[in-house]
Amino acid sequence: MRHDAGHLIIDPIFASESHRDEVRDCFLAVDIDDCDCGHCETDRGPIPKYATVTLGIVSGNVRVSQRLTVDELRELADTLLSFADVIEDISAVDAPTREDLA
**Mean per-residue pLDDT of the chain:** 84
Q: Are the C-beta atoms of 67 and 54 separated by less than 8 Å?
A: yes
Q: Please write down the HEC assignment for all residues of the chain.
A: CCCCCCCCCCCCCCCCEEEEEEEEEEEEEEEECCCCCHHHHHHHCCCCCCCCEEEEEEEEEEEEEEEECHHHHHHHHHHHHHHHHHHHHHHHHHCCCHHHHC
Taking residues 33-58, what's their average pLDDT? 88
pTM as predicted: 0.71
Contacts of 66 (CB under 8 A, 6+ apart): 12, 14, 16, 17, 54, 55, 56
Q: Pick the more confident residue, 91 or 66.
A: 66
pLDDT tens digits, one per residue of 69-97: 999 999 999 999 988 888 888 887 766 66
Q: Pick the more confident residue, 102 or 78.
A: 78
